[in-house]
Amino acid sequence: MDKLGEAATLVRSGDAAAFQRIVDATSSRLVRLGARILGNVADAEDVVQEGYVKAYKALVGGEFDGKASVATWLYRIVANQAIDALRRRQRQPKPTDSVDEGQSDAGSAEEHFALRELSEWMSELPAEQRAALVLKAVEGLTSAEIAAIMQCSEGAVEQRLVRARAALRQRSLKS
């Protein structure tokens, strides 16, 4: 069992402080994942925080089966939280695709603008296509890994990727 697995066991047995170790070890990558899908750090922090709360409840409730590592499990939770947030955003769109205008995010202005560029480039894609594309082309996951996260077949993932790329290509031709 890895260190995060040991921490998860402690949390399950009532040591809530052990959850801090899990957060410290995973939050950087999870917030980056969320920011890449959602386009800004503030929204990413929201979904990651909610993901941690759900994970904590699941650990305490004994619902985590341990088939995958804690890190992989958290990654999947946050990816799906972000996809849900994207869906909600697309049902109630904001004029700026919810990209924050200020510089309140952590990190450099360059990172802020890169996240905004990524978000605006994919703003017209359906949530599933956008998430699949980020997971594949930005996060570097395989289609099998994306299929496991999105709970669909690899074929469905490939189809989403093809459609998303076609839409981006079409968009670049128009502009």
Partner 1 sequence: MSHEYEDPIDARFSDLAQRTHDVQARAGFSARVMARVAAEPRAGLGLVRLRAWHVLPFSALAALSVLWAVSASSAVNEELAASYDDVELEW
Residues 129-148 within binding reach of partner 1 (CB under 8 A): 133, 137-141, 144-145, 147-148
Q: What is the DSSP letter of 136?
A: I
Q: What is the DSSP letter of 139?
A: S
Shortest distance, CB of residue 27 to partner 1, whole angstroms? 6
7 lines the binding site for partner 1 (CB under 8 A): no
Per CB under 8 A, contacts with partner 1 among 11-30 are: 14, 16, 19-20, 23-24, 27-29
Per CB under 8 A, contacts with partner 1 among 45-64 are: 45, 48-49, 52-58, 60-61, 63-64
67 lines the binding site for partner 1 (CB under 8 A): yes
Work out the angle between the directed axes of helices 3-12 and 70-91 (0-180°, nearest 10): 80
Among 80, 96, 123, 159, binds partner 1 (CB under 8 A): 80
Site string for partner 1, 89-108 (x = CB under 8 A): ---------------xxxxx
Return the exposure string of 112-123: e unless at least 16 CB atoms fall within 10 Å of the residue's CB, then b. beebbebbeebb
111 lines the binding site for partner 1 (CB under 8 A): yes
Shortest distance, CB of residue 54 to partner 1, whole angstroms? 5
Write the DSSP assignment of 65-114 as a string of letters.
--SS-HHHHHHHHHHHHHHHHHHHHHHS--TTTT---SS-SSS-HHHHHH
Of 94, 55, 95, 89, the residue nearest 75 (C-alpha): 55
87 lines the binding site for partner 1 (CB under 8 A): yes
32 lines the binding site for partner 1 (CB under 8 A): yes
Among 68, 93, 120, 153, binds partner 1 (CB under 8 A): 68
CA angle 69, 156, 52 (to 5 degrees): 30
Radius of gyration of the chain (CA): 17
